[in-house]
Amino acid sequence: MCGIFACYNYQGDVEEFRQRALYLSKKIRHRGPDWSGCMIANSTILAHERLAIVGIDTGAQPLVSDDDNLILCVNGEIYNHKQLRANLKNKYEFKTHSDCEVIMHMYKEMDKDLVQHLDGMFSFVLLDKKRNRVIAARDPIGITTLYYGWDSKMPGTVYFASELKSLNEDCDKILAFPPGHVYDSDSGETTRWFNPSWWDESRVPTNPVDLKVLRESLETAVRKRLMAEVPYGVLLSGGLDSSLIAAIAARETEKIATAGVPDDDNFDERGPTFWPRLHSFSIGLPGSPDLIAARDVAKHLKTIHHEYTFTIQEALDAVSDVIYHLETYDVTTIRASTPMYLLSRKIKATGVKMVLSGEGADEVFGGYLYFHYAPDSKSFHEETVTRVKNLHTSDCLRANKSTMAWGLEARVPFLDKQFLEVAMNIDPKDKMPDRSQGRMEKYIVRKAFDTSDDPTAKPYLPDNVLWRQKEQFSDGVGYSWIDTLKEVSLTKVSDEDFAKAASRWTKDTPTTKEAYMYRVMFEQWYPQEACTASVVRWIPKAEWGCPEDPSGRAQGVHDEALKE
């Protein structure tokens, strides 16, 4: 992934604005430390900070079409780019090996409907010079981050950027660009293009789970995400989700190493052939649950395993910087992002530039422990759809910005468009946990990869990991991490200040001293009023009897399961 900045229809001397635009783009250079580019056409400026993953020798951006009419900036990866090239009606001369260049040629044939055909994670801004038109789009779930903003002194001017920090100084209105939408300057409207079969949460599916289809669709999702020309690895917490992704990736790389590249136009072989031995990465406090479980998985998969520990003080020292990169004050996101931010820095130091991660499974399958308290299957399903729709405000935001803070790209197979069509259309009765019947959270995912009934099959994971109880990442890195954050906030925030929280912040009033502490840190980086419009806090479902603290350990079922 990369960092993009654009300003459409600048109302002033755009050449003079160039230096300002370069400054604003530089604010997100951590996302793309490999190269920078900037172009001006008409009254529009497009800037790009590149992280080279695919087409590393020729893929510098902004990209320009053969006829010099189209200029394109993309942040993301288009996994089906080879198939898209083959399906173009006309012949075009491709200037680069980039997976993103095909977007320009698709625009010539399909206009903005091209987004319907993209399979990947992406945010892009495309300028059509002849029409003085800009279109911008974001991937279906919001795996990549994108914002757009306006300056009331320049009506008609629209800014776009991968992160809030490139806009807050120049815009007095800033919004998160909605996932699955496309903006068209001709109409000035942002419209939804992603309309999958499962989007309406009131439509409760009745399809019984097909474990084979579920397993194979996730394997396909992992396979396509191995597209890379740089060293890659997997984030391995030792929990079910990251361990399954690691297990599938290990099998795929082994296939290439032993059988060679498959004869498949839809498969981009540049990943597994570049680094055929899988590297895995984990982090935690010394002796933490995640580190112990991750060792078992790495040993089972025979990965080259990298284990890192951190101290509480190192994490506390990083919190302010984490909030700067996250651009949120949400409690659960900050808790989980800090260890991920520290790990990403360690990974980047090894030379790895891309990792696979397990985000999304808990939302899709109701894996969080509070789902045990869902009153019925309809409520369970509605909550999974709502959580998937809002991933761009929480786990996707965390995974993207914690890693991209160090120029590391995270790919998330559980949010694959085709996989979601399978998983989100399963009868929620099959997904719901039921301890009385021995069905723990994400039972069908575990069962899909359970080979115990076939003595000749190679197990995907050790049983103690395949059937390990859910630990949220912020818990699994070591229980004392969250406990210390709470204790520190009690000393940093006085009772007197906390009592005035409602008068200080009418929106998202902090209800704990920990939340108050993060809100203060956020405002130190982002004091402008416009900056809070894009922040969304996760609030536990009180109507299900959930406690206010978002930690998995706060759910009663966590301790109940440990007693069994």
Catalytic (active-site) positions: 2
Burial 473-502 (b: 16+ CB within 10 A, else e): bbbbbbbebbebbeebbeeebeeeebeebe
Q: How far is CA 199 from each of CA 141, 203, 411, rounded to the nearest angstrom?
A: 11, 8, 22
Cα-Cα-Cα-Cα dihedral of 466, 467, 473, 477, to 10°?
Answer: -90
Q: How far is CA 273 from each of CA 137, 254, 265, 302, rounded to the nearest angstrom?
A: 32, 10, 16, 18
For 431, the 3-state DSSP assignment is helix
DSSP 178: P
Q: For 39-55, give the DSSP string.
A: EEETTEEEEEEE--SSS
**Could you give the CA distance from residue 316 to residue 517 in angstroms, rounded to a whole number?**
12
Please choose, from the candidates 32, 34, 10, the residue with its C-alpha nearest in 3D space to the C-alpha of residue 20.
Answer: 10
Please choose, from the candidates 466, 362, 469, the residue with its C-alpha nearest in 3D space to the C-alpha of residue 415.
Answer: 362
**Could you give the CA distance from residue 563 to residue 445 in angstroms, rounded to a whole number?**
24
68 is in an annotated binding site: no
99 is in an annotated binding site: yes
**Could you give the CA distance from residue 41 to residue 474 in angstroms, rounded to a whole number?**
46
Copy the structure tokens of residue 98.
Answer: 């980039």
For 157, the 3-state DSSP assignment is coil
357 is in an annotated binding site: yes
Size of the chain in residues:
564
| Chain centroid offset of residue 157 CA | 29
Q: Which residue in this structure is represented by tokens 């659960």? A: 332
358 is in an annotated binding site: yes
Q: Which helix (H) or strand (E) holds 127?
A: strand 120-128
Residue 303's CB: how many other CB atoms inside 10 A?
Answer: 23
* 43, 14 Cβ separation under 8 angstroms: yes
330 is in an annotated binding site: no
**Could you give the CA distance from residue 330 to residue 511 in angstroms, rounded to a whole number?**
12
Number of H helices, E strands in the chain: 21, 17
Angle ∠(24,389,187) on CA atoms, nearest 5: 55
Q: How far is CA 149 from each of CA 23, 172, 390, 400, rounded to the nearest angstrom?
A: 17, 7, 21, 20
| Chain centroid offset of residue 465 CA | 24
> Which residue positions form the known binding site for ATP?
235, 283, 357-358
Query: Residue ranges for the binding site for L-glutamine?
Result: 99
Annotated binding residues, written as ranges, equal: 99, 235, 283, 357-358
